[in-house]
Amino acid sequence: MESKITAILVDDEENGREVMRNLLENFFQEIELVGEAENVEDAFKLVKAKQPQLVFLDIQMPRQSGFNLLKKFEELSFEVIFVTSYDQYAINAIKFSALDYLLKPVEIKDLRDAINKAKKSIAVKTKNNVQIINLLRTVDTDIKDRKIAVHSGDNVKLLPENNILYIEADGRYCDITTNNSERYTTARSIKEFEEYLGDRAGLIRIHKSCMVNVNHIKGYSKGEPCFIEMINGKVFEIARRKKQEILERVKK
């Protein structure tokens, strides 16, 4: 008989915990709940005491967020499934770190997909520590160490933002090119990258289907149309409405 996966719920709302508890008890017999907590302090003690394999972690909680709980551990010995109300910034940060999240109200199909992924990681004893660390760096105010998670075969690779030369849209996907000529394809849109990276990023959108890293622009032409050349020789045309913004960033 397959052994059960031990799990805890961390959510400041009793109703939220009750909903998750009922879903797990009624549809996921392979999960054994060993405790619940309503704040970061209690959750930290509970994890230490119960040593769960899986934590369902609410992000929005009073005083300290779910991210603060993860910062308390030097090393994570458990898988994490984030649970959140609609918070586009948090969702983008989680997605770009290649981690799983559930949007409230939780759907059974989404819960099943997240649990199945967690079960596989637990079975092969792989940990997502690197992705968690990247996530925590992302949600902090300092972005100098920020990375973008991409899938490379069966692995997840974290690309430092400043190592990316440009991102090009290709239908429903985007192609990422790095400064050492590596190329990765990811199932994210240009708009998602733009929202995730924000105004302080080195990567800036130059037209509807491309973002370039202003730190790796080799030169640009004057007049119309305006072209920029990247350090690897790639040339892009800048949309007229973006020209002034981009050239100001380059000159800085």
Q: What is the pLDDT of residues 52-104, one digit of tens each?
A: 999 999 988 877 888 889 988 888 889 999 998 867 767 878 887 778 889 88
8 vs 147: CA distance, rounded Å:
29
Q: State the pLDDT at residue 141.
A: 44
Contact 194, 245 (CB under 8 A): no
Angle at which helix 190-197 crosses helix 88-96, to 10 degrees, equals 110
Q: What is the DSSP letter of 11?
A: -
Q: State the pLDDT at residue 200.
A: 64
pLDDT tens for residues 119-165? 988 887 766 677 887 787 666 544 556 788 887 777 788 888 889 99
Q: State the pLDDT at residue 35.
A: 96
Task: With residue 205 as reference, give the H or E element that holds it.
Answer: strand 203-207
Q: In what order do the strands lie in the sheet with 235-238?
A: 217-220, 226-230, 235-238
Q: Where are the beta strands (DSSP E) in 1-144?
A: 5-10, 31-37, 54-58, 79-84, 101-103
- CA 244 to mean position of chain CA atoms: 31
Residues near 221 by beta carbon (within 8 Å), at least 6 away in sequence: 227, 228
Q: What is the pTM of this model?
A: 0.65
Q: State the pLDDT at residue 96.
A: 75
32 vs 51: CA distance, rounded Å:
13
Q: State the pLDDT at residue 127.
A: 63
pLDDT tens for residues 152-204? 777 788 888 889 999 999 888 899 999 999 999 988 888 888 887 776 678 89
The residue among 244 and 47 whose pLDDT is bigger is 47
Q: Which residues of 200-237 are buried (b: 16+ CB within 10 A; e: fewer)?
A: ebbbbbbbeebbbbbebbeebeeeeebebebeeeeebe
158 vs 98: CA distance, rounded Å:
10
pLDDT tens for residues 211-247? 999 989 999 888 888 999 999 999 999 998 888 888 8
Q: Walk me through the domains of the chain, giving residue ranges and CATH numbers.
A: 5-138 (3.40.50.2300), 162-251 (2.40.50.1020)
Q: What is the DSSP letter of 76?
A: -
Contact 161, 147 (CB under 8 A): yes
Q: How many alpha carbons fall within 13 Å on the CB side of residue 32?
A: 10
